[in-house]
Amino acid sequence: MSARTRASEAPPNAAVRPLLTLPSGVANDRLLLAVGGACASSALLIAGAATGVVADGRQAYESLALLIVLAAAPAVLSVVLVLRGKPAVAAGVLSGAGMVAVGRLPLDAQFAVDPTLTTRPELYLPVLQFELPNWWGVGFLLAGHLVMIVSGVVAVRAALYLPDDVGSPAGSRQRVVVIAMIAGLLISLGVLIHPFFSDNALLIDNGALDGPPLVLAGALLLAIGIPMAIALAASATAWGLTKGVLLGLAVAASAAAIPSIAGVIFVPWLHLAAGPIVAVLGAAGLAVLGSLRAGGLGGQPPSDATDDVVTEARMPRRRMLDGGVGALALATAVAAVAGASTPMLAGDDGAAVENLSQSLLGPAGVLVGVLGVAMFVPKAAAVVRPALSVAWVGVLLVGVQALALPVAVDTVLPASRPGIGVVWTAVAVLGALLLAACSLVAGVVEREDTERVPLHNAVMFSSAIAGPLVIGAFGLPVISAAEYQGSGLAQRFDLTFWGVLVAMLVVLGALALAPLCRSARAAALLLGAVGVVVVRLLELPLVGRQVDGFEIEAGTWFGFAAVAVLAVAAGIAVVSGRGLRAR
């Protein structure tokens, strides 16, 4: 008896209780636990907004009704999807909302540190005298975000056991992913720039890059995490989960941006800025993509086909993705080189202000550009792509280091103003983030078409040895001087810190993945890691020649050792691959 026949013979009330059709056991329990957690998160966020984040403080406008709707949206949407029999989509919604909660957690934690430095008129309007945080209100907000993060993790684990419940738009899925990446980049851009312009001197209107460390951390987590979440969602075999993640990101990102727009509407001395508008447009794009039916964007619903037809369809898809990644890599390289060769700061007399870190942008851009050109060669693309999936972080590493001075220009050089180099560098950094996400999607498609071959254990041992050396290379400064403070995790907590941290984590991730890849791809991953470490070491000759009396720090020696071990590991990967083929 077919499933359709059984459904037609089911009791009349079964059709209105699709919740009971969920898979029994662990998946059902985890999903319901995640939905319950989302409801608890919404209740906590509403309680925080109602209680207030500052003792005896007030909001710039009456925002409680709006905050209630925005806080409840992910939970309500997930409940509706579960009741309609779409458990995979519901799990995706909670996963996407959990990702956004990771970034919103440090944003709200700023209320516990110094409420006067926040740009959140829907929650607090600063006054002349310092006001203590309301620990109950702040605690409710932070607890709400933590519960949402946990619910997202539980939802991801539940999705591993849930069947797909939405037809995949077979012919248009790649178009959906590419457009979703663009929409995610818009959200990333929106959370980094000004939320509004304020005529009230007490309510600052700085963008995230000019904000305190916690605000900067939260914005960067959102800017990096949202494209990554889209890329990971695109790799899911269940199209329902992919759609759900897009919807969850859209709803949660809108909840972070809409209050600023409402503030402009209801507060006469607040004026519209591009940040929240761009973020809401990106979120709207994700919502539309997450609502597409099978066959949207010109695709056709999936149909039965032979393996030969599927294989032929996959090859053009891979070539299209490889070409897109290559084009994006070239654009990022051009922006990085332009950022290295144009002024980033101008003094009050119009003369360019020296930025010592700016010279590092050129080599990082050239590395990405060369790999991008190779992506247009069909036979080389599959080998080069893993290297590019690591090399992009070199642009991020030196890009944020170069942007650190313009971001702090108001306190360092009050009479100066940013130059065109800031724009080029910001474009290069955002391009690198999008390149990472697109490269990940291309890698997922590639893994669908190839079988994984285990490598010799020596690759794993070599990677394990390189790990501590990489931590030392990024954790400790390369050089130092009286007029220059080197970059490193142990140096200072600012924009540069986050660039170094992300670069170190990406390189360590490459070391962890290399033993799981085929020989050529493992070697490419390791060589890409070599390129990033070399970009870091270039701080020694390129910046060192611009300062007097510099000293070589421990990070240099860790970096040279890491390059040597990584190169040996890449050689072992190639030799191991030849040995396997010889068998």
- Name the phi and psi angles at 90, rounded to 5: -60, -40
| Percentage of residues of the chain with pLDDT beyond 70 | 79
Mean pLDDT of 186-197: 84
Question: Tens digits of per-residue pLDDT, 46-97?
Answer: 999 999 888 877 888 888 899 999 999 999 999 998 888 888 888 899 999 9
Q: How confident is the model at residue 250 (pLDDT cuts 50, 70, 90)?
A: very high
199: pLDDT strictly greater than 60: yes
Domain ranges of the chain: 18-297, 323-443, 451-583
Query: In the 8-state DSSP scheme, what is residue 19?
Result: G
Query: In the 8-state DSSP scheme, what is residue 54?
Result: B
pLDDT of residue 126: 82
Distance CA 531, CA 536 (A): 9
Among 138-152, 384-398, 400-414, 564-578, the range scoring the smallest mean pLDDT is: 400-414
If one compares 279 and 344, the residue with the highest pLDDT of the two is 279
pLDDT of residue 174: 65
Query: In the 8-state DSSP scheme, what is residue 507?
Result: H
Distance CA 120, CA 116 (A): 10
Q: Give me Rg for the CA atoms of the chain.
A: 25
Domain boundaries 451-583, corresponding CATH code: 1.20.140.150
pLDDT, averaged across the chain: 79
347: pLDDT strictly greater than 80: no
Q: How confident is the model at residue 557 (pLDDT cuts 50, 70, 90)?
A: very high
42: pLDDT strictly greater than 90: yes
If one compares 299 and 281, the residue with the highest pLDDT of the two is 281
Name the range with the highest mean pLDDT among 43-52, 57-66, 234-243, 354-363.
43-52
450: pLDDT strictly greater than 70: no
User: Which residue shows structure tokens 């508008």?
Assistant: 277
Mean pLDDT of 351-376: 85
pLDDT of residue 39: 94
Strands (E), 199-316: 270-272
How many C-beta atoms surround the C-beta of residue 307 within 10 A? Answer: 7
If one compares 52 and 445, the residue with the highest pLDDT of the two is 52
19: pLDDT strictly greater than 60: no
Q: HEC states along 144-162?
A: HHHHHHHHHHHHHHHHCCC
Question: Tens digits of per-residue pLDDT, 174-184?
Answer: 677 778 878 88
Question: What b/e readout covers 233-272, taking b as 16+ CB neighbours within 10 angstroms?
Answer: bbebebbbbbbbbbbbbbbbbbbbbbbbbbbbebbeebeb
> Residues 80, 170, 371, CA angle at the centre, nearest 5°?
110
16: pLDDT strictly greater than 60: no
If one compares 169 and 52, the residue with the highest pLDDT of the two is 52
Could you tell me which of 467, 483, 488, 472 has the C-alpha nearest to residue 397? 488
Question: Tens digits of per-residue pLDDT, 497-524?
Answer: 888 888 898 898 888 888 877 778 888 8
